[in-house]
Amino acid sequence: MMALTANRPHLIDRVPRPRGRLTADAPLGPQTWFQAGGPAEVLFRPVDRDDLAAFLRALDRDIPVTVLGVGSNLLVRDGGVKGIVIRLLREFTRISVEGSEVVAGAGALDLNVALTARDHALTGLEFLSGIPGTIGGAVAMNAGAYGGEFASVLRSAEAVDRSGDIHRTTAAELGMSYRHSSAPADWIFTSARLGATPGDQLAIARRIAEIDSARLDSQPRSRTGGSTFVNPPGRKAWELIDQAGCRGLRIGQAQVSEKHCNFLINLGAAGAADLEALGEEVRRRVLDHSGVQLEWEIRRIGVPLSVATGAQA
C-alpha cells in the first residue's frame, strides 16, 4: 500500500475540489477483470465533461493522471497507481441514436452500444458485442474483433487533454492502424459518434448471438484480462504461444489458459506480479522458439509493490 507518514499530507489534500467524487487510496484490483492489483492514490469520478475539464485545468501539472475503463484489458501492478486515476461513469455511460449514428459516452460498454444499435435496427456495430471494454478505450486503441474494428465505424470523437482543453476529431485525424491510434497520450476521450446503416433487426440479433456463442466456445470466462498479446503481422499469437509449449503454464496462481492460450488467468490468489511475470515468460519462450517478439495488448499500469513500499527488490 502507499503508506502515509504523519508529516506528509496525502495527495487528496493537494488537488482541486470538483463536483464529482474523490476517494483516497481506492482499491483498484476489485475493479479489474483480473481481480488483482493495488490502490489508486486518488480516484476521481467526474460528473460530466465540464467537471473533468475544470479539474484537469486546475490540477498541478506534476501530478500524473491515469484513466481506468471497465478494467477488462488491464493489469494494475501490486503497488498501485500514483497520482489521479479517473473513472468515467454516470453521464459518460449514456448512449443515444441520431438517425443512422450512435452517440456514446466514453464510459459506455461496447456491448451496450451494440445492443442499442440492434434495438434501433442499425447494422455495422455488431462486432462491438465481442469487445469487453468501453468506448473510450476502444477509440484510443482502435479496438476490433470478429471482423470489425473501430476505425471503420468511428465518425468523430471528443476528448479532454491534460490542460483541460476540449478537442473534437475525426477517425482520419486519429491515424488509426491495427490496435493503435495516433491520439496524443494525454487525451481522455469523453464520447464518440459511430456510423451504422439501417438493417434487418433479426439478422443483427443473430449476429450478436453468434459472436457471444463464439466467445463462450473459445475464451475462458474466469478472472482474465482478455487477449494478452497483439497478433503479429500474418500470425496468431495463440498459435505461437501453443507451439512454444506454454498452454497451461503457471507461475504461482497465474496460469496460461488451457482453453485459449492468449489469455492469462488468475486462479484465485495471483498477484499482478505473478501475472506479469507469466506474460514475460511466455514472451521469452515464444521468442526462443519462433524468433517472434510478442507485444503486450494488455495495458499494464502502476508500480510494483517493492517500489510503493520502498522495499528492496
Q: What CATH code is carried by the domain that includes residue 118?
A: 3.30.465.10
Residues contacting residue 266 through CB under 8 Å, at least 6 positions apart: 34, 35, 36, 222, 223, 224, 253, 254, 275
**Side chain identity at residue 176, one-letter code:** M
Q: Do 193 and 104 fall into the same domain? A: yes
- Residue 17 pLDDT exceeds 50: yes
The confidence band for 50, taking pLDDT boundaries of 50, 70 and 90, is: very high
Which of 41, 50, 38 is closest to 23 using CA atoms?
41
Residue 128 lies in a domain: yes
Residue 52 lies in a domain: yes
The confidence band for 296, taking pLDDT boundaries of 50, 70 and 90, is: very high
The confidence band for 231, taking pLDDT boundaries of 50, 70 and 90, is: very high
Mean per-residue pLDDT over the chain, rounded: 93
Most confident by average pLDDT, 10-24, 134-148, 215-229:
10-24
Residue 308 lies in a domain: no
Residue 208 lies in a domain: no
Per the listing, cell 441514436 goes with 97
Q: Do 103 and 71 fall into the same domain? A: no
The predicted model gives 96-106 an average pLDDT of 98
- Residue 66 pLDDT exceeds 50: yes
Strand 65-68 and strand 81-87: the pairing is parallel
215 or 118, which is more confident: 118
Residue 270 lies in a domain: yes
The predicted model gives 172-193 an average pLDDT of 91
Among the candidates 90, 112, 138, a domain finishes at 90
What is the rounded radius of gyration, in angstroms, for the C-alpha atoms of the chain? 20
pLDDT given for residue 211 in this prediction: 94
- Residue 284 pLDDT exceeds 90: yes
Q: Do 34 and 135 fall into the same domain? A: no
- Residue 309 pLDDT exceeds 80: no
pLDDT given for residue 313 in this prediction: 39
Q: Do 113 and 178 fall into the same domain? A: yes
115 or 181, which is more confident: 115
Distance CA 248, CA 271 (A): 18
Q: Do 112 and 84 fall into the same domain? A: no
The confidence band for 308, taking pLDDT boundaries of 50, 70 and 90, is: low
Residue 306 lies in a domain: no
pLDDT given for residue 5 in this prediction: 44
The confidence band for 310, taking pLDDT boundaries of 50, 70 and 90, is: low
CA angle 87/73/46 to nearest 5° reads 5
Q: Do 198 and 125 fall into the same domain? A: yes
Q: Do 103 and 167 fall into the same domain? A: yes
Q: Which domain holds residue 269?
A: 229-296
**Residue 113 in grid coordinates:** 452500444
Domain holding 17: CATH number?
A: 3.30.43.10
Contact 157, 139 (CB under 8 A): yes
Contact 26, 2 (CB under 8 A): no
Contact 91, 47 (CB under 8 A): yes
Q: Do 116 and 33 fall into the same domain? A: no
- Residue 162 pLDDT exceeds 60: yes
73 or 266, which is more confident: 266
The predicted model gives 301-309 an average pLDDT of 84
Domain holding 290: CATH number?
A: 3.90.78.10
Q: Give the residue numbers marked as catalytic.
A: 179, 227, 297
Q: Do 83 and 34 fall into the same domain? A: yes
Domains: count for the chain: 3
CA angle 301/304/310 to nearest 5° reads 135
Q: Do 163 and 79 fall into the same domain? A: no
The confidence band for 7, taking pLDDT boundaries of 50, 70 and 90, is: low
Residue 250 lies in a domain: yes
- Residue 138 pLDDT exceeds 80: yes
